[in-house]
Amino acid sequence: MEDRSTATLQNIQRSALEEFLDKGFQGASLRQIVKSAGVTTGAFYGYFSSKEALFASIVEPHAAALMGRFMQAQTSFAELPESE
Cα–Cα distance list, 52 to 9, 16, 72 (Å):
15, 11, 29
Residue 80 has pLDDT above 60, yes or no: yes
Please identify, in words, the CATH class of the domain defined by 2-78: mainly alpha
Separation between Cα atoms, residue 42 and residue 60, nearest integer Å: 24
CA quadruple 36, 42, 43, 44: dihedral sign: positive
Q: Is residue 2 very low, low, confident or very high in pLDDT (cuts 50, 70, 90)? A: low
Q: List, for residues 29-67, the tens digit of each pLDDT value.
A: 999 999 999 999 999 999 999 999 999 999 999 999 999
Domain boundaries, the chain: 2-78
